[in-house]
Structure 1
Amino acid sequence: MIRQICCLLLLSTLTACTASEAVKPSPQRTTMVATGDLGFLSTQTRHFAWHPTLAKVVADERVESDQVIGNMQQALKKALEAKGYQLVSRQQSPDLLVGFGLTLSSDMSDSEILQKTGLVPGLSTFGVDMNKYEKGSVLVALFEPQSPEPVWRALGQGFTDFERDGAKRQQGFNEFISVMLTAIPAI
């Protein structure tokens, strides 16, 4: 009997010991939030154009705004074309308009983003070396051509590494935008 009790005590002591590896926070993490109704999209909704006024970059001198706008348009075009949509000019009567905005946390806080867009993913900077990375926010909005208000919008946040070369940065951006547009149906 005593031998059985000793075995049980020894067994419970062994199972109570655990080892775990500390999880290192990653600057590659992202958060996203989306709102709106994509019900206006159908198999007849095939053509999109850039929104005439919503193509904005709010960032300091480390960011070349014109280049970022071009990169963003390239990423959006690639993601939407992969779903079957086609870019046309606004004069060609598109079925939807696509607008976007980008900012860095040093230029616009989460509370300012919430105030302007009504959305905020709230990406935590805990454990991230903010001397090397900066939190960036990307807004994508879809409009019906005659509507001044977006019918759908998504806001994503992630960390940008200014030391990353251009090709790798564009690849990461393409992947990020593709994930942001996951809810948009393919045609």
Structure 2
Amino acid sequence: MINKTFWVAMVSLILLTACSSTGSDQQEMAATRTTMVISGDLSSLNSGSTAFAWHPTMFAVHANDEVDEAVVIQHMQSALTQVMQNKGYHLASLNEKPSILVGYGLALESEMSDKEILKKAGLVAGLSTEGVDDKYEKGSVLVALFNPTSPMPVWRVLAQGFTELDKTPEQREQRFEQLLSSMLKPVPVR
């Protein structure tokens, strides 16, 4: 009897909480969700070396004119370097041959549609904008790992989420770094 009463009370509490959520709470929850899709096989990367370098041609930022592309590229490379270093990799020096090339791209929905992303990257995460306030814009982040001897990526991950322009730059950078860490979680630790 006590067990049944406990479960009835818990279900009632959950329903009451769901009913008391405000529209703005629901919009904020919708705006903080992300979707991710992964393709490829990490086992084909060279496991003998821990050096990585930036892909010479695969880096792109598709955003409006208000976004400083150079700053975004610098932050993206810094955040990716940090994630890779946490996994035991290091950025290759000039005289060192990397075993992995890292390419990346970022796009805001206003500059690149899901259809265009699918055409260029071969992946689409399919994050819905339904129920999300217009103050948030959908953004996409692609990271691809290449074997230096192959023109095709051996592994790719595409994540989509919503920009939070109402947050401070530090808060946005922290969320972005958390996203990259989550995206690269499958990359083996060395």
TM-score range (shorter-chain normalised) is: 0.7 to 0.9
Structural mapping, 1:91-102, within 5 Å: 91-102=95-106
Alignment-derived partner of residue 5 in structure 1 = none
- Does residue 119 (structure 1) correspond to residue 91 (structure 2)? The answer is no
Q: RMSD of the alignment, in Å?
A: 2.0
Structure 1 unaligned spans of 5+: 1-13
Structural mapping, 1:160-179, within 5 Å: 160-179=163-182
> How many residues matched?
172
Alignment-derived partner of residue 148 in structure 2 = 145
1:58 to 62, 75, 79: 62
One-letter amino acid of the counterpart of residue 186, structure 1: V
Deviations 1:6-33 (A, max 9, x none): xxxxxxxx99x96441462421110000
Q: Which of the two has greater helix per residue?
A: 2
- Contact 1:33 1:156 (C-alpha < 8 Å) held by counterparts: yes
Deviation at 1:115, TM superposition (A): 1.0
- Does residue 38 (structure 1) correspond to residue 28 (structure 2)? The answer is no
Deviation at 1:43, TM superposition (A): 4.3
One-letter amino acid of the counterpart of residue 29, structure 1: R
Deviations 1:97-145 (A, max 9, x none): 0000000000111111111111101011121112x11000000000011
SS in 2 for 1:141: strand
One-letter amino acid of the counterpart of residue 148, structure 1: P
Cα distance change of structure 1 residues 52 and 90 upon mapping to structure 2, 3 Å threshold: farther
Cα distance change of structure 1 residues 33 and 90 upon mapping to structure 2, 3 Å threshold: farther
Q: What TM-score does the superposition give when structure 2 sets the normalisation length?
A: 0.84
- Contact 2:46 2:100 (C-alpha < 8 Å) held by counterparts: no
Larger Rg: 1
The 2-side partners of 1:56 and 1:168 are apart by 23
One-letter amino acid of the counterpart of residue 144, structure 2: A
Structure 2 unaligned spans of 5+: 1-7
SS in 1 for 2:73: helix
Runs ≥4 residues deviating over 3 A: 17-20
Alignment-derived partner of residue 8 in structure 1 = none
The 1-side partners of 2:118 and 2:48 are apart by 33
**Structure 1 vs Structure 2: percent identity of aligned residues?**
49
